[in-house]
Amino acid sequence: MTVGRMGSPDYRDIACLVSKHHLEIFGGVQANSEDPVPPDTRTVLLLGPAEPGFWSFVSSQHEFKDGLANALDRWSRRAINSLAAETEAASLFPFGGPPYHPFTRWALRSGRCWQSPMRMLVHDTAGLLVSFRGALCLRFKLELPSPPEDSPCTHCIDRPCLGSCPINALTHEQYDAVACQSFVASSRGLNCLAKGCVVRRNCPVSASYRRDQRQSRFHQEAFLKRSL
């Protein structure tokens, strides 16, 4: 399926292509002159893991078996570059910088992400577990579905994310990344290491997203290796 053969595909066509890689469209924006994208870009689509089942799928790919570093990022490049070729688009990624592409800004503009009480992004279907594997820069204007009217936080009465961090490294006022990293690396932080950040997990939307705990551990282990 290519743009040249079928004309401009609609949203459902693109979503079907994306789903073959166990990804889904997490939002989209119409490009403007301030966006750091190729000059012929009309629409930017943000792609994230489709759940349930993303981790079982992606961890079976050859990037996770060749012993080389950055398996998830390398798979993301391969998969999204393939999608870009099929749609005659350009691909962009949230890693590999600096400079970094403004995925957070695009996410907020999409109307499907908001700033949560913890200041982190919250997504309409992924909650605080939202992550982006890349973006497609389409050369045609794609009609996007209407986003939700408001953030899921608007209707979240208990707000369990607030006060969830066992050491208050992550609050609505600040994020102490050094303290967080030290805690996750310690014996007291085994729960956060094995299952992922408890603040993110306590979001009711995150709970319904059904991310595999193995993926959360993968990201936590990568976090421990990062220089802060």
Cβ neighbours of residue 158 under 8 Å, at least 6 residues apart? Answer: none
Q: Spell out the residues 6+ positions from residue 90 whose beta carbon is closer than 8 angstroms to its own.
A: 37, 38, 41, 84, 136, 137
Mean pLDDT on 78-104: 96
pLDDT at 228 over 90: no
To the nearest 10 degrees (0 to 180), the angle between helices 213-225 and 177-185 is 110
pLDDT value at residue 141: 96
Mean pLDDT computed over every residue of the chain: 95
What confidence tier does 127 reach under pLDDT thresholds 50, 70, 90?
very high
Q: How far apart are CA 44 and CA 28, in angstroms?
A: 5
Smallest CA-to-CA distance from 161 within 124, 112, 217, 116 is with: 116
Distance CA 103, CA 80 (A): 15
Q: Where are the beta strands (DSSP E) in 69-180?
A: 90-92, 113-115, 121-123, 134-138
Specify the amino acid at residue 59: S
pLDDT at residue 2 greater than cutoff 70? no
Distance (Å) of CA 204 to CA 21, 74, 175? 26, 31, 21
- pTM to 2 decimals? 0.94
Q: What is the pLDDT of residues 13-34, one digit of tens each?
A: 999 999 999 999 999 999 999 9
Instruction: Give residue 4's pLDDT.
Output: 45
Predicted local confidence at residue 106, as pLDDT: 98
Mean pLDDT, residues 130-149 = 97
Q: What percent of the chain has pLDDT over 70?
A: 97
pLDDT category, 168, cuts 50, 70, 90?
A: very high
1 has a pLDDT exceeding 60: no
Report how far residue 134's alpha carbon sits from residue 78's, in angstroms, rounded to the nearest whole number: 11
- pLDDT value of residue 8: 76
Share of the chain above pLDDT 90, in %: 93
> How many domains in the chain?
1
Q: Which domain holds residue 69?
A: 3-225
Name the residue among 21, 20, 150, 148 with its Cα closest to residue 77.
21
